[in-house]
Amino acid sequence: MPTNDEIKEAFGELIVAYDVAVSRAIDEMKAREALVNMEASVLASEVITGSNAETRNAKLKIATAELRETLHEETIAKKNADAAVALCQLEIESYKCQIRNTDNLLREKELIRRNKTNE
């Protein structure tokens, strides 16, 4: 059965993981907004020209490649932070199961002991 210190530590880790996940989500939103704004700015400036939409889209991607890379990195960081939260939650759920199972075993032993004394 987990100790109180282990449980407190697990909840502390969960709080830290949530803080990181929220921060990463905000960073990802900012990166996405920066990309959208840059694309709008480039399109409005009419710098992107081409005979068809595919050519213009390719040029737009080239013009915003750095911001796309930043967004990609932020998305990966957010997914990693979300995974850390999930791992902390799994650890806490594991502790809950261990506590429930121990309580059930203790109840079962108590019932067996009572039945033996009543016989």
Contact, 4 vs 68, CB < 8 A? no
Mean pLDDT of the 38-63 span? 88
Query: Residue 16: what pLDDT?
Result: 97
Residue 53 CB burial class (10 angstroms; 0-12, 13-18, ≥19): exposed
Statement: residue 43 has pLDDT above 80? yes
pLDDT of 47-58, one tens digit each? 888 888 888 889
Q: Where are the domains of the chain?
A: 4-118
Residue 2, exposed/middle/buried by CB under 10 A (0-12, 13-18, 19+)? middle
| Prediction pTM value | 0.78
% of the chain beyond a pLDDT of 90:
64
